[in-house]
Chains A and B, each alone.
Chain A
Amino acid sequence: MLAYIGRRLGALIVILFGSSFLLYNLDAYSSDPTEGLRTSTDPRAHQQLLSLIRTLHLDVPPPARYFMWLKGVLGVFTGHFTLGLTRDQNQVSTYITHAIPVTIRLVTLATVVAILFGIGLGIISALRQYSRFDYAMTFFAFLMYSLPIFWVAVLLKAYLAISFNNFLVNGTIAPLWIVSAAIVSGVFWSALISGTRQKVMMIFAIAGSATTVFLTLLSLTKWFTHPGLGPIMMVALGLGFAFGITYLSTGLENKAALRSSVTVVLIGLVLYFPVEYLLTKFSNLLAIFVMLLVTVAIATAVGSGFAKIDRRPVIRTSIFASLFVGFLFIIDKLMKTWVPYVNSDAIHQRPIPTIGQANDLLPEGNFWFSFLDIVLHLALPTIALILISMAGYIRYSRGTMLEVLNQDYIRTARAKGLSERTVVMRHAFRNTLIPITTIVVVDIAGIIGGAIITERVFGWRGMGTLFNTAINSYDLNLLMGVSLITSTMIILANLAADLAYSALDPRIRVVGKK
């Protein structure tokens, strides 16, 4: 194993060397960083030109200059690491260390949501192969494949940000919208849950009327201008999730899992006021993290208390339920911050921003204010990124799931008389995740360098913006810095994907002598 990793890392260095050499020379020969200064009529231009040539060693031919740059990069082993200077004489590495966290913040949430929903929809679509839902999903996925992200971004800005802000002034939903939302939800749920025609009609009616009642209530109570979860909603959501997750993970027949997850939810809700107090008193990320650990510990204890045999699925189910309750608490806290946030001077009642990564005018030091601010600034780019990247996951997981369902071990599992839920969730789903893991890992690495357009459209200052600046200002060192980081991430992710594959699938071995 170690020998394999060592050999792969050796290959990695060779590949990085090759690709950076290629890009360096391609860019160096095709661009002239002194062009602007040489044609300038400014009397100081000549002086600047000379100093630029001196600091960036422009008098050295590119292939040789590449090795000067490489010497700085290899300094990582000797402690003299440098990615070179930018045109304005700053260290490239400083720019990059500032940009990476921004990009990671931009893509993390979108990637996680896209993966979860993409895999979920893809698998349901595979289980309903050739159904109306399947065709709709296929069309939807192809449509998302074909969307230019900058075009979607403009639409999102117009309809989700500007129109939604206008809507918030009043906060009531027009009846036409309620009716259309009801029809959409009815169609969605009845397509999702298959059955006889009668059942489909019933589900359509239930989902449609539930949506109507729900939206009307929200509209009448002015929920959108004064959002909050409130105890009833928390109880309903928590119990609903407890039942749902038990159904998916162990089946409702498993009484221990059901009882334990419901208990966890109830414990959480009983502790509502103490937790609320703690969140207000200790508002920082560390405190939230500690509370998360406590939550998981409680869930584990409750789970092992209820389970007599086969503890792991029960504990797993209650941990999921407890995490959901924790999530509800955070949402509730954010909603309570909403009214003061919207009415603060910096926001001016227009909470959904169309551009930027944070509002600089907000008062400092209020953790929940800045938390909500970050969440709202993330909203539009996240939706855009999800729309673009979810399509791949839907198609891929659908294809893999169909392949897995045709395997002999699935037939064996059915022949043993296992319930269809066990066959799907335990035998098919887990095997589907193996190939998906590998593309997910590679995708995450790619997206860090690949959010160039998203960053540009939404005005974030991350790696993509850095790359844009580098090209437009003929800044070779900056360009190489960005691309070196991105390429390294991609290669390492490929290695990680291969290792993950072999760890998940015992049939694959990486310890390879040919």
Chain B
Amino acid sequence: MSIFSRKAKVSQEQADTDIFNKETEGLSQGQIVRKRFFRHRGAMVSLLVLFSLVIFVFSTLGFKIFGIGFRGWWKYQITDIPSLRTDGCSVELPGCPTLDLLPGKNFGLGDHPFGQDDLGRDYFALVMRGAERSIEVTVVIGLVAGFMGTVIGAIAGFYRGWVDAILMRLNDFIITIPTIIIAAVIGFHFGNKGVLFLAIFIGLFIWGGLSRLVRGEFLTLREREFVDAARVAGASNRRIIFKHILPNAIGVIIVSITLLMSSAILLEAALSYLGFGVVAPDVSLGLLISQYQDSFMTRPWLFWYPGLLIILIALCINFIGDGMRDAFDPRQRRRISRKDRAAERHQVVKK
């Protein structure tokens, strides 16, 4: 009843540990991690949602890769200016959204699911293009920063000494300038060179936290017996780093890259909002919000959809990251439910 009451009893904790140990018997590290991750319901749902969202977004308008173009299934492009839809909307507000998720006559996407902007451009196309850009930026920032952070942290932690000192001072320089400041400086001056360039450049400056983590992990792992054994067996430094230490540090790296990506999508949105990110002829979710925030009172749909999409993507990435952290953390134990306990007792009785 009170705030301080405690449910679990000590004996039950012991029993739970037994159940837990039995479940992971005879499995490799990778299998345990995978099993734990698949069991994390939030992470699995998020993974599914994010995966379908990415496919949906990229197939809508089509894209071009290595010179081969793929046509999208949506009828409008962001440059099309169809006439404003008036039927079904109030007179002062033409171009209202046609998306209807309730079963009935109008169920489905309709002609302009997210409505039209004041010019008549199809907002669904704009939002999808914005989401494409945001996802690209996020992935590129994650990859570049992840690569930089891992390599620099690994080298610093493995070689120690003056290499470590120099790299970590460089790290300090970058970490002390707030991310948004350095990103804004980069974004403002290089934003016109294209989204990809912007993302790579930002990625080059936000690996500070990750490299510290990786370095710490390497510092502990390099002292372990298996590294000594590998060295005695004549393995080269490169082999030790890539084959022996890195696989053991991969959990930390993947988790932080995931969390880095979820902050990268918000960073991109914030930069575009401030005008230091993606610039006008191109589209991004942050830019759409910034362009249409004043129409919230008159055409609310111009404001709602890009924001909801950002939240959805960031939320999914966060949940996936959480699931990975739980899966990789050996101290983390899943919740043993009443059903598991009952099954365990049943087995004991049968024996």
A154 touches B174 (CB 8 A): no
Interface of chain A residues 181 through 197 with chain B (CB within 8 A): 192-195
Alpha-carbon distance A233/B317, docked complex (angstroms): 46
B45 to chain A, nearest CB (A): 12
Q: What chain B residues lie within 8 Å of A193 (beta carbons)? A: 1-3
Identify 24 residue pairs between A and B in the complex whose beta-carbon atoms are under 8 Å apart, listed by A's number: A15-B172, A16-B176, A18-B172, A19-B172, A23-B177, A31-B188, A124-B3, A145-B318, A146-B318, A147-B311, A148-B266, A149-B270, A150-B293, A158-B297, A193-B3, A195-B5, A420-B2, A424-B4, A450-B180, A471-B184, A471-B188, A483-B177, A486-B177, A487-B177
Alpha-carbon distance A420/B3, docked complex (angstroms): 10
B289 touches A150 (CB 8 A): yes
Q: What chain B residues lie within 8 Å of A16 (beta carbons)? A: 176
Q: What chain A residues lie within 8 Å of B178 (beta carbons)? A: 446, 449-450, 483, 486-487, 490
Q: Does B218 contact A (CB under 8 A)?
A: no
Q: What chain A residues lie within 8 Å of B262 (beta carbons)? A: 145-146
Chain A 32-76: CB-based contact to B (< 8 A → 1; otherwise 0): 000000000000000000000000000000000000000000000
> Which residue of chain A lies nearest to B292 when distances are taken between CB atoms in the complex?
A154
> Which residue of chain B lies nearest to A23 when distances are taken between CB atoms in the complex?
B177
Q: Does B147 contact A (CB under 8 A)?
A: no
Interface of chain B residues 146 through 176 with chain A (CB within 8 A): 169-170, 172-174, 176
Chain B 307-333: CB-based contact to A (< 8 A → 1; otherwise 0): 100110011001100100000000000
B273 touches A148 (CB 8 A): yes
Residue of A154, A194, A487 ringed by the most chain B CB atoms within 10 A:
A154
> Which residue of chain A lies nearest to B316 when distances are taken between CB atoms in the complex?
A146
Choose one: A127, A453, A483, A486; the contact of B3 (CB below 8 Å).
A127
Total A residues in contact with B, Cβ cutoff 8 Å: 56
> Which residue of chain A lies nearest to B46 when distances are taken between CB atoms in the complex?
A142
Q: Does B276 contact A (CB under 8 A)?
A: yes
Alpha-carbon distance A424/B3, docked complex (angstroms): 10
Residues of A participating in the B interface, judged by any CB pair closer than 8 Å:
14-16, 18-19, 22-23, 26-27, 30-31, 124, 127, 130-131, 138-139, 142-143, 145-151, 154, 158, 162, 192-195, 199, 419-421, 423-424, 446, 449-450, 452-453, 456, 467-468, 471-472, 479, 482-483, 486-487, 490-491
Chain B 54-66: CB-based contact to A (< 8 A → 1; otherwise 0): 0000000000000
- Known contacts A130-B335, A424-B4; A22 and B173 CB within 8 A of each other: yes
Q: Does B77 contact A (CB under 8 A)?
A: no
Q: What is the count of residue pairs linking A and B with beta-carbon distances less than 8 angstroms?
A: 144
A460 to chain B, nearest CB (A): 15
A286 to chain B, nearest CB (A): 35
Q: What chain A residues lie within 8 Å of B49 (beta carbons)? A: none
B315 touches A150 (CB 8 A): no
B180 touches A199 (CB 8 A): no
B270 touches A150 (CB 8 A): yes
B277 to chain A, nearest CB (A): 12
Alpha-carbon distance A353/B120, docked complex (angstroms): 33
A148 touches B307 (CB 8 A): yes
B293 touches A146 (CB 8 A): no
> Which residue of chain A lies nearest to B276 when distances are taken between CB atoms in the complex?
A471
B314 touches A15 (CB 8 A): no
A146 touches B266 (CB 8 A): yes
Alpha-carbon distance A450/B179, docked complex (angstroms): 9
B173 touches A151 (CB 8 A): no
Sample of 5 more A-B contacts, CB < 8 Å, known A27-B185, A130-B335? A18-B173, A19-B174, A22-B173, A26-B182, A446-B178
Interface of chain B residues 259 through 299 with chain A (CB within 8 A): 262, 266, 269-270, 273-276, 286, 289-290, 293, 296-297
Q: Does B197 contact A (CB under 8 A)?
A: no
Alpha-carbon distance A283/B182, docked complex (angstroms): 44
